[in-house]
Amino acid sequence: MNTVRHRACHASATLTRSLRIPSRWRTISTNHFIHREKDAVVPDSGFTFAVKDNIATAGHPTTCASAFLRDYESPFEATVVRQLRERGGVFVGKTNMDEFGMGSHSLNSAHGPVLNPKFDDVPRSAGGSSGGSAVAVRLGDADVALGTDTGGSIRLPAAYTGVVGYKPSYGMISRRGVVPYANSLDTVGFLARDVKPIYDLVIDGGLIHEHDELDPTSLTSQSRRRCSPGGDRRPPKLEEHFRNPSEITIGIPQDYRIAELHPSILAAWAAAEDALRKWGARVVPVRLPSTQVALPAYYVLAPAEASSNLAKYDGVRYGSRAEGGDTDASGEVLYSRTRGDNFGREVRRRILMGTYSLSSEAMDNYFVQAQRVRRLVQRDFDRVFARPNPLRDEEPFDLSDLEDGWELENKRGPAQVDFLLCPTAPTFPPRVEDVRTQGPVDSYMNDVFTVPASLAGLPAISVPVPAGNGMEEGGGVAGLQVLGQFWDDARVLGIAHQLSRLMPVV
């Protein structure tokens, strides 16, 4: 980004910190930082950024909110942190999170829970697992925050705290220096108070073009040029997108109208549809039938990958040894006490889930079937989007897959769209005491709208929109999610910016 954009970004954030944050939001201890820089100096041409605690920063702790890494300081820095520093970013601290990214509410942390600053009546969820990063942005402690999104871990906290949360296309942002949860799903993303700072970094700032040779999941420079519609051509400014809105078609997934969807979020979704129609865009219903099986498939695949990634944490080869964990107990292996004491309850649960699904007796019925469901999810998205997926061959739509009575756009099938619009979360931020009494399955339901885009590797962004008149459940704000085809990130950010202008949150 050039100096003018840096200065504008910093000035905007300073105004936010000084004028727009109600004092009552600081009446509770949000516990969003694990480590905070005391003397961070921001030049006029710079901006501040916070880093989720599973992203390495040299000379600072990287604990993943786990007792296993309580003493760990990384000898190197994550590529994305270096990239932000090169663009004028000033590091202000490491943010709290769910342990190893496993959770939807940022309550599963060795450093204590993160609380939502929007509510001072009772403690409420800030969303997870990047809850600390979302709160840091919400309170103005950082202009931009880094998070990771495996199944919604950036978008859900953004919706709960009323900020913007963006998950890029898989393979765009380097993951070198990120402690892995599920390698085929983990994506580094950004949170900010509005879309522009993110666009300035990713599109104008050129992160979309930077390949990292040290990250095997980073798309090569050749692939990036092939995926980008304009190649290396200068991208348009944020405000230059969609000069003719009548050329834009936005799909409303009918399969996302679930019984658990809160009426006020449904009303906000409908209001957004009306606003986009009045703007001039075409809005049509679409079907994504694999949605109903995406969530269970995710909770087979992600724990399976996690059980493999976390196998090295034993206190012998890696991680801190538990007290008394240096001798064998009767019938136990050397590191059983260390893993039992240092892993939190949710992490232990997911390791057991993943280990079982990878066992010889269960693999065919669970892991292999979940991989097939993932392909169906990807296929559904590719059929719905008008822009072809640059990584896969285009498949003709099989009309026999349609349900009776479903309207065809033409002889080739239903309408194809540029973007999808849906809620980010089915409910408003729940009370912490309610979350603690929920069963795991009830908690996992919060990811029902965010998981499909993660399984398909697509760009998705959560934007805050008005929801009622200061209603208690959501503080008058709901999160709506915009999804686009793979590597269509610039236009996804552009339509999200337009939505936030059409439905501003006061």
Number of other residues whose CB lies within 10 A of the CB of residue 116: 30
Residues taking part in catalysis: 52, 129, 153
| Bridge partners, 165 (sequence order) | 191, 462
Ramachandran quadrant class, 402 (left: phi over 0; alpha: psi -120 to 50; beta: rest): beta
Calculate the average pLDDT of the chain.
Answer: 89
Lowest mean pLDDT among 175-179, 315-319, 386-390, 394-398: 394-398
Cβ atoms 347, 99 nearer than 8 A: yes
Q: Read off the tokens for 333.
A: 């292996």
Arithmetic mean of pLDDT, 362-371: 96
Number of other residues whose CB lies within 10 A of the CB of residue 439: 7
- CATH code, residues 3-235: 3.90.1300.10
Find out whether the peptide bond into 336 is cis, omega within 30 degrees of 0.
no
Arithmetic mean of pLDDT, 194-204: 97
Residue-wise pLDDT for 406-457, tens only, equals 666 666 667 899 999 999 999 999 999 999 999 988 899 999 999 999 999 9
Q: Read off the tokens for 461.
A: 């962004």
Cβ atoms 314, 338 nearer than 8 A: yes
Side chain identity at 255, as an amino acid letter?
D
Could you give the angle at which helices 489-502 and 263-279 cross, rounded to 10 degrees?
A: 100
Interatomic CA distance for residues 411 and 283, integer angstroms: 20
Q: Read off the tokens for 456.
A: 């398909």
Alpha carbons within 13 A on the beta-carbon side of 29 = 5
SS3 label, residue 136: helix
Q: DSSP character for 348?
A: H
Domain boundaries, the chain: 3-235
- Is the pLDDT at 13 greater than 60, yes or no? no
| Bridge partners, 115 (sequence order) | 125
Does the reported pTM lie above 0.85?
yes
Cβ atoms 490, 172 nearer than 8 A: no
Please tell me the predicted confidence (pLDDT) of residue 1.
40
**Which one is predicted more confidently, 452 or 11?**
452
Q: What are the start-end ranges of the E strands in 178-295?
A: 187-192, 249-253, 282-286
Side chain identity at 68, as an amino acid letter?
F
Interatomic CA distance for residues 339 and 158, integer angstroms: 32
Please tell me the predicted confidence (pLDDT) of residue 17.
33
Q: Read off the tokens for 277.
A: 């129609």
Give, for 291, the enclosing helix (H) or strand (E). helix 291-309
Q: Read off the tokens for 49.
A: 């950024």
